[in-house]
């Protein structure tokens, strides 16, 4: 007996499931009102989380039955995905703790409507959302009893789906994730499986990951971000000097995955390939202290707009752009024309995405520096000015003086974008992450 409410639970048997995952069969003793011990504890914890969080944490951590504690923490973590990290440490090592920590590390989960807690958290649609065609996956029917005996069924299903994805079996992964209790957790399960597939080197890893992402209703953009970032990580880890050649092969893999999806696959592929190049080039510049035009000599012409945009960002990050538009243009042109021997330095993490200041209204737009979008012009000088004003807006402190100067630029597209950015910056921006 738990000694707290007259409820109790008893571990009957523990062992390994079919995939080597820890499972447990346990008997739940009901309270006098018919509520089972863990469900009653979950209900109390969720109702009191916003009133007495410290008290909830103390009570949940003190649950003596490890199986019951695992169940309660798992449900509470689903209800408050970004707030329950202290409880993760109360779990035994393994799938449950890993899932708890992962849920707390996923900011997109706290931005969507989570029905379990009764809270409504609505995500804002990204103006740079990638076009998606659903990639067909022959779904494998998985018995409804899968992981039914686990104390933390959600974690168990996640683990089984990850293993299926790692084996290159997205159909089984989708079938397993469909058993999650709610649609939001089924999507997170597929997201998690996609990440597992992304760790597999070669052409198959991205293809499986992208297919799983395309079947998400929630978090789709975040899922593609992770899948593409994993592919880029594989590319930038190639032997020094071979990164660009490996990147060309990877870009073709991305193109092949999306071209085959539908009659408009070419257009969809073009956007995904552009996103790949924006992530690759941003990391290329992040790994060198020599911001110049060297990548233009190694990447294909389709990636040159991403090179120009990333160079402006990197120069502003390093304090190499200041003064009037004419002065900044001179410094930028000199750097763009310069070539050097690329020397790579290792970095601890990929560059932080820029976020978004909204979608440009110009007819031609490209991805740049990972997550942002900017106007594009086939005229190199005009395109370079676009790059300079975007960097002036995105890198803090923003260069408002340059944007006001650009608002009077002879090219109507540049002037319009400069005014748009000034307006976007007038809206309070979230603080930068430490």
CB 306 within 8 A of CB 278: yes
User: Average pLDDT, whole number, for the chain?
Assistant: 79
For 420-432, letters b (16+ CB in 10 Å) and e give bbbeebeeeeeee
Distance CA 106, CA 257 (A): 26
Confidence at residue 41, expressed as pLDDT on a 0 to 100 scale: 82
**What's the token pair of residue 433?**
């992450």
Each residue of 311-346: pLDDT tens digit?
999 999 999 999 999 999 999 999 999 998 777 776
Name which of 209-218, 327-336, 423-432 the model is least confident about.
423-432
Q: What is the mean pLDDT of residues 16-33?
A: 35
DSSP string across 128-184:
TPPP--PPP--PPP--TTTTTT-SSHHHHHHHHHHHHHHTT-HHHHHHHHTTSSSHH
Each residue of 341-383: pLDDT tens digit?
777 776 655 566 566 788 888 889 998 877 688 999 999 999 9
Confidence at residue 170, expressed as pLDDT on a 0 to 100 scale: 94
- β-pair partners for 368: 372
CB 54 within 8 A of CB 84: no
CB 116 within 8 A of CB 75: yes
- What does residue 23 show for φ and ψ, rounded to 5 degrees? -135, 165
Distance CA 365, CA 276 (A): 15
Distances (CA, A) of 73 to 49, 93, 185: 12, 13, 15
Confidence at residue 107, expressed as pLDDT on a 0 to 100 scale: 54
CB 278 within 8 A of CB 368: yes
Q: What's 297's DSSP letter?
A: G
Q: Is the pLDDT of residue 275 over 70?
A: yes
Confidence at residue 431, expressed as pLDDT on a 0 to 100 scale: 52
CB 22 within 8 A of CB 14: yes
Each residue of 103-126: pLDDT tens digit?
666 555 544 433 333 333 333 334
Residues 429, 432, 433, 434: is their CA dihedral positive or negative?
Answer: negative
Q: Per 3-state DSSP, what percentage of the chain is helix, strand, and coil (rounded to 5)?
A: 55, 5, 40
Helix (H, G, I), strand (E, B) or coil at 358: coil
Each residue of 51-98: pLDDT tens digit?
888 888 888 888 887 777 777 877 777 777 667 777 777 776 666 677
Each residue of 289-320: pLDDT tens digit?
779 999 999 899 999 999 999 999 999 999 99
pTM for the model stands at: 0.72
């Amino acid at each position: 007996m738990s000694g707290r409410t007259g409820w109790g639970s008893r571990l009957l048997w523990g062992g390994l499931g079919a995939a080597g995952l820890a499972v447990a069969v346990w008997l739940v003793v009901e309270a006098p009102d018919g509520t089972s011990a863990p469900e009653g504890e979950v209900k109390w914890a969720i109702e009191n989380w916003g009133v007495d969080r410290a008290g909830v944490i103390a009570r949940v951590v003190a649950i003596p039955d490890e199986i019951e504690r695992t169940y309660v923490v798992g449900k509470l973590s689903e209800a408050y995905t970004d707030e329950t990290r202290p409880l993760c440490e109360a779990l035994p090592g393994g799938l449950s703790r890993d899932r708890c920590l992962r849920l707390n590390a996923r900011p997109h989960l706290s931005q969507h409507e989570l029905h379990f807690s009764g809270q409504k958290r609505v995500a804002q649609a990204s103006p740079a959302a990638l076009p998606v065609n659903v990639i067909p996956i022959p779904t494998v029917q998985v018995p409804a009893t899968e992981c039914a005996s686990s104390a933390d069924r959600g974690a168990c299903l996640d683990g089984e789906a990850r293993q299926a994805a790692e084996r290159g079996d997205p159909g089984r992964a989708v079938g397993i994730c469909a058993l999650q209790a709610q649609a939001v957790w089924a999507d997170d399960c597929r997201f998690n499986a996609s990440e597992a597939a992304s760790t597999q080197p070669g052409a198959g890893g991205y293809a499986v990951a992208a297919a799983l992402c395309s079947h998400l209703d929630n978090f789709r953009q975040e899922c593609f971000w992770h899948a593409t970032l994993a592919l880029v990580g594989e590319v930038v880890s190639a032997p020094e000097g071979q990164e660009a050649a490996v990147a060309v092969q990877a870009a073709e893999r991305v193109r092949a995955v999306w071209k085959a999806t539908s009659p408009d696959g070419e257009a969809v592929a073009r956007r995904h390939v552009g996103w790949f190049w924006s992530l690759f080039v941003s990391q290329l510049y992040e790994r060198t202290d020599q911001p110049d035009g060297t990548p233009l000599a190694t990447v294909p012409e389709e990636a040159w707009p991403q090179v120009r945009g990333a160079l402006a960002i990197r120069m502003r990050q390093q304090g190499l752009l200041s003064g009037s538009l004419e002065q900044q243009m001179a410094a930028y042109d000199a750097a763009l024309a310069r070539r050097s021997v690329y020397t790579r330095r290792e970095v601890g993490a990929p560059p932080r995405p820029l976020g978004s200041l909204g979608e440009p209204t110009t007819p031609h737009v490209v991805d740049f520096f990972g997550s942002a979008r900017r106007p594009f012009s086939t005229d190199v000088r005009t395109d370079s000015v676009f790059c300079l004003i975007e960097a002036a807006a995105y890198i803090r402190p923003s260069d408002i003086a340059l944007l006001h100067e650009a608002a009077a630029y002879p090219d109507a597209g540049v002037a319009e974008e400069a005014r748009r950015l000034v307006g976007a910056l007038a809206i309070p921006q979230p603080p930068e992450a430490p």
